[in-house]
Chain A
């Protein structure tokens, strides 16, 4: 990956923050620590792949609340929870909501580092996925209004004749539109185009957003 990968650490305890920072940096990763969920939310985010090591119980916004807030805002930041209280129901809740790992303090460095690697892998996949969707969106944005209408017929598997009739144009015109669509979207076959449109629909209308 060209851009550096970051590990955010949010814990209200200074000793824990400093220790985690040193451990994570010792394996060549970059660390950004924050004493509270609010401080983390206010600080600017580094572009690229990242994950979050998050204390469950903190004064103010708790780790679980921060997780909910991040989920709602659509940010894809894999979370590793750490806790001083071996609280199983809490762990279950956090894992159900998509946490990568739930570690009780004190934990083994190998366990934490493995969890961080797993989280970064996940972040990398999500990052790649989002980059590709962005790419598709960029192509899709080049289409004209008429081409967007034609593409809807293509995805449904309609014949050119049907599309032409529905749109009130000649079959030849539809063929020209199809050709332009394939070129602008950068695909060679109809199945490729269908897959692309499906991914676009699955990702929703949300704007390309990260960093």
Chain B
């Protein structure tokens, strides 16, 4: 009896100690649970704090680019409040010319076909204004009951872009003024050089008439005056030949041109102008890249002139999308044929004949030198520059650069 009580007692003791151990374990694991819960809370709070207080905009979005949630910074940037920003589609508020690209990107990313991407574009704000943004998007894989989502980080670069744009505008204006001044001076000096012999011709012929009208005409003086008329008229003619020579002249360099690189440099240079005017640019180059021997600077100048003309022509146009296409194709006669086509109003028939004349311009403040210089550059390369009427609507200028 005594023994069995002892056994029972021991058993009880052992159980108590087990319970104690278990309880200790329980307490321990509860503590650990508490610790990790606190850690989770801390971590959660930190993330939330970051999300709420950072200067960059953060959004979670679905496959249609619709915002599921957006942090206060993004709400501020786009001009929405916490509630009404939900459901706004990041694709639909992308500016028109970039919208198709935005849709491709969002779908591609969501469906796992694209890795994350970074773009540089404008969003339309709630009030109709624009937000220049650096946008960085990545995919969040599906988790538990949530499907995959897009994380979109938006940096507001409006101020920087505006500064750049006003800098570019100032620079462009400066260039224009400098060019205008230089041209103005050139024109004034040409005018003076021609005017001098011309007024001498007029005075000499009037003098000759007066010598003739004397009672006894002085034929020696008449002959001398007429000889001077002849000489001075030739002098004026020589001035004009010299100007023609000047437009033709300029030794050209001949070196291999990396076509793709040259065009992308050019378009980069023009990016602000093109974006500002809302022009979409398409470039079509033959593959593999053909060999081209030309003067790269002069060639760039020709394309630049044609692109600027195209953009200027489309600036006033509303309704239709503004589109510029640069296409390079092999020329049947050897060498390459470049085409610069715009979706603008085209060239009026009555100005076509004078289009390539120096000092002829259809722009209110145009100098009328762009096409004249372009044509002489192309002709210096042995090619041709013309307006292709068959490729309307809009204007299409083509030029060839033959093989050497």
Contact = CB atoms under 8 A, between A and B. Distances in A.
Contacts of A18: 200, 204, 228
A23 B203 contact: yes
B228 A106 contact: no
A107 B225 contact: no
Interface residues of B, number: 26
A17 to B, nearest CB: 9
B360 interface: no
B207 A22 contact: yes
Contacts of B202: 106
Contact of A15 (B196, B208, B218, B224): B196
Most buried by A among B199, B203, B232: B203
A107 B231 CA distance: 19
Contacts of A112: 203
A167 interface: no
A71 B137 CA distance: 81
Contact of A85 (B188, B203, B224): B188
Contacts of A201: none
Contact of B199 (A16, A22, A26): A16
B195 interface: yes
A: contact size bracket: 10 to 19
B203 A106 contact: yes
A22 B224 contact: yes
A13 interface: yes
B207 A85 contact: no
Contacts of A106: 195, 198-199, 202-203
Interface string B1-14: 00000000000000
Contacts of A107: 199, 203
A23 B224 CA distance: 12
A109 interface: yes
B221 A13 contact: no
B210 A13 contact: no
B199 A105 contact: yes
B45 interface: no
Contacts of B203: 16, 19-20, 22-23, 106-107, 109, 112
Given A15-B235, A84-B195, A26 B211 contact: yes
Contact of B228 (A15, A84, A109): A15
B206 interface: yes
Interface in A1-46: 13, 15-16, 18-20, 22-23, 25-27
Contacts of B344: none
Most buried by A among B192, B199, B202, B218: B199
B242 to A, nearest CB: 17
Interface in A62-83: none
B233 to A, nearest CB: 10
B200 A16 contact: yes
B197 interface: yes
B195 A26 contact: no
B204 A22 contact: yes
Nearest to B195: A84
B228 to A, nearest CB: 6
A55 B195 CA distance: 14
B215 to A, nearest CB: 12
A109 B206 contact: yes
A205 to B, nearest CB: 43
Interface in A84-131: 84-85, 105-109, 112
A109 B200 contact: no
B199 A84 contact: yes
B218 to A, nearest CB: 8
Contacts of A27: 210
Nearest to A20: B203
B195 A22 contact: no
Contacts of A15: 196-197, 200, 228, 231-232, 235
A72 B202 CA distance: 35
Interface in B152-205: 188, 192, 195-204
Contact of B207 (A13, A26, A84, A108): A26
A40 B199 CA distance: 23
B192 A84 contact: yes
23 contacts: A15-B197, A16-B196, A18-B200, A18-B204, A19-B204, A22-B203, A22-B204, A22-B207, A22-B211, A22-B225, A23-B203, A23-B206, A23-B207, A26-B207, A26-B214, A26-B218, A84-B192, A84-B196, A85-B192, A109-B203, A109-B206, A109-B207, A112-B203
Interface of B: 188, 192, 195-204, 206-208, 210-211, 214, 218, 221, 224-225, 228, 231-232, 235
Nearest 7 interchain pairs by C-beta: A106-B199, A15-B200, A19-B203, A105-B199, A109-B206, A26-B210, A23-B207
